[in-house]
């Protein structure tokens, strides 16, 4: 979230958009989205096979999904930013 380009603006396009609008980064929201389900549910939701414990990259997901002992968990972080009132 703090990576910047050569021009000093944030690397991430969404953070860059908010920075251009004058927002400042406040903090990380480590568990903005937290979804758990069985391996069977994960396979149904994604159309992928999760045959063993470990992390899997799912197309369209921001972070890997972790499977352990028949349970998959997806924890997506986010960034809190503040815009000054207009």
pTM: 0.73
pLDDT at 35 (0 to 100): 96
| Bridge partners (DSSP) listed for residue 36 | 73
At residue 15, φ and ψ (nearest 5 deg) are -65, -40
pLDDT at 28 (0 to 100): 93
Burial call 39-68: b when 16+ CB within 10 Å, e when fewer: beebbeebeeebeeeeebebeeeeeebbbe
Digitized pLDDT (tens) for each residue of the chain, 86 residues in all: 889 999 999 999 999 999 999 999 999 999 999 999 999 999 999 999 999 999 999 999 989 999 999 999 999 999 999 999 87
């Amino acid at each position: 979230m703090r990576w910047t380009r050569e021009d000093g603006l944030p690397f991430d396009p969404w953070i860059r958009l908010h920075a251009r609008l004058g927002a400042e980064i406040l903090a990380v929201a480590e568990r903005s989205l937290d979804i758990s389900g069985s391996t069977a549910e994960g396979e149904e939701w994604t159309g992928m096979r999760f045959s063993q414990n470990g992390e899997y990259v799912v197309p369209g997901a921001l972070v890997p999904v972790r499977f352990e002992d028949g349970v998959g968990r997806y924890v997506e972080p986010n960034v809190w930013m503040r815009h000054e009132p207009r």
